[in-house]
Amino acid sequence: MRKPAITPPRSTALPSADHRDGTQSALRGVAPHQARRAGEAGGAWRVILSNLHRGALLALLPMPLLAASDGAVRVKDIADVEGVRENQLVGYGLVVGLNGTGDKLDNAVFTRESLVGMLERLGVNTRDQIAKLQTKNVAAVMVTAGLPAFARSGSRIDVTVSAIGDATNLSGGMLLVTPLLAADGEVYGVAQGAVTTGAVAAKGAAASVTRNVPTSGKIANGAMVEREVNFSLGAHPQVNLALRNPDLTTARRIETAINQAMGGAVARATDPRTVALSLGTRDVIDSLVVIEDLRVEPDTQAIVIIDEASGTIVMGANVRISTVAIAQGNLTIRVSENPQVSQPGPFSRGGTTKVVPRSSISVDTQDDHKLGMLNAQPTLRDLVASLNALGVGPRDLISILQAIKAAGALQADLEVR
């Protein structure tokens, strides 16, 4: 069986000293500019700056830098080293110490058999008294965790515990020793610890309150790694970068940035998702540290995502709409029922009381809506302003966008979820 792949540690994301020096020099370059603008404003800023502590001034100056930054991001934020990731672990165990909220042993046969088997391994024989086991303080659970990249033996990882029986609450329970297995069937960790759910559940004779999910919880640092994945990143001179959002333009920009930084034809974009690195005799770790801190501006696809269930609309920065004319209106029909009671007069003979239906129907065609012009907009900001000028809600806007797409005026992909 092929060994699972692993991911690089996050510690390689530390900024370099050159980057910190560049930031400080940028701050020194902004300060005179701010002072000149203050002088042009009539000296008002001089009065304010004179009352500020020097440290407070340095804390305020980075704000314009953040606002003026472009859309460039680090390579590590948009691409991963191919084949380097975490592995999923899973195990089956028992949670004990519950306050009467565990599995009912008559219904959950697996919980009863697991409890009997555990007691036998501890030297307690209950097999001949299995019918008398009626405890409600035990729950069978599935334990899941992610084995991080390059995790070493003895390191700890978080685990998630989820009930698989009819237990109603795992709060306050204790997970007993549970082996965690990977896809190859080998044990890579052992989990044990107190379960925390972060849920609140209270029940009375006629009412109950439940917040969050009390049948699923976590154990921080609840598992210890017992087996390592045998993998050496530095022994592979051929490394591939996998883009999280495949795009040919972004891959080509990453290739150009890497080749300029490394001083040679090191990177080559082979497809929209992959950038191949031929490092040769270069140190793999040192090269990846330099490459992952390079900044490129990723290109995005023009797409509009619509969630009809919640009425959410998300547009990409490259979405454009050609000039169209729009007239939008809804046909609303309201039917209201107001039944009345008809009863005979006093002292009448043979009369009966009956319910007489009374219905009222109204139709609203919204004739006040006129035809509007939606001009082609060069930027997303102008497009949003034009759509807002139509004066329609999100759900009406969904229908409008679908109609614009059908007319061929929406220059973007429309994805409805």
Task: Give SS3 for 310.
Answer: coil
Query: Is residue 227 pLDDT above 90, yes or no?
Result: yes
Q: 69 lies in a domain?
A: no
Q: 282 lies in a domain?
A: yes
Residues 15-59: tens digit of each pLDDT: 333 444 443 433 334 444 444 444 444 444 343 334 433 333 333
- Which residues, at least 6 apart from 85, have a Cβ–Cβ distance to it below 8 Å? 5, 6, 7, 149
Adjacent-strand bridge partners of 141: 93, 163
State mean pLDDT over 84-91: 93
Please check whether residues 207 and 183 belong to one and the same domain: yes
Model pLDDT, residue 371: 59
Please check whether residues 266 and 370 belong to one and the same domain: no
Q: 81 lies in a domain?
A: no
Domains contained in the chain, number:
4
Please check whether residues 159 and 176 belong to one and the same domain: yes
Please check whether residues 245 and 135 belong to one and the same domain: no
Please check whether residues 107 and 51 belong to one and the same domain: no
Query: Is residue 82 pLDDT above 70, yes or no?
Result: yes
Burial profile 351-370: b = 16 or more Cβ within 10 angstroms, e = fewer: eeeeeeeeeeeeeeeeeeee
| Percent of the chain clearing pLDDT 70 (strictly above) | 76
Angle of CA points 367, 371, 373, to nearest 5°:
155
Give me the chain's average pLDDT, please: 78
Please check whether residues 99 and 26 belong to one and the same domain: no
Q: DSSP states of 19-83 as a string?
A: HHHHHHHHHHHHHHHHHHHHHHTTSHHHHHHHTS-HHHHHHHTHHHHHHH--S-EEGGGTEEETT
Residues 48-71: tens digit of each pLDDT: 334 433 333 333 333 333 333 467
Task: Report the range of poorest mean pLDDT among 3-7, 68-72, 408-412.
Answer: 3-7
Cα 406 to Cα 140: distance, rounded to the nearest angstrom: 53
Q: Highest-confidence range of 70-79, 186-195, 231-240, 371-380, by mean pLDDT?
A: 186-195
Please check whether residues 178 and 286 belong to one and the same domain: no
| Percent of the chain clearing pLDDT 90 (strictly above) | 39
Cα 369 to Cα 390: distance, rounded to the nearest angstrom: 10
Residues 135-183: tens digit of each pLDDT: 899 999 999 999 998 899 999 999 999 999 999 999 999 999 999 999 9
- Check residues 301 and 28 and name the one with the higher pLDDT: 301
Model pLDDT, residue 13: 36
State mean pLDDT over 262-277: 92
Model pLDDT, residue 36: 43
CA dihedral 402, 405, 411, 414 (to 10 degrees): 50
- Check residues 297 and 372 and name the one with the higher pLDDT: 297
Q: 249 lies in a domain?
A: yes
Model pLDDT, residue 317: 81
Please check whether residues 119 and 152 belong to one and the same domain: yes
Please check whether residues 311 and 365 belong to one and the same domain: yes
What domain range is 111 assigned to?
Answer: 87-225
Model pLDDT, residue 102: 93
Please check whether residues 36 and 16 belong to one and the same domain: yes
Please check whether residues 148 and 250 belong to one and the same domain: no
Q: Which two tokens stand for residue 335?
A: 């039917």
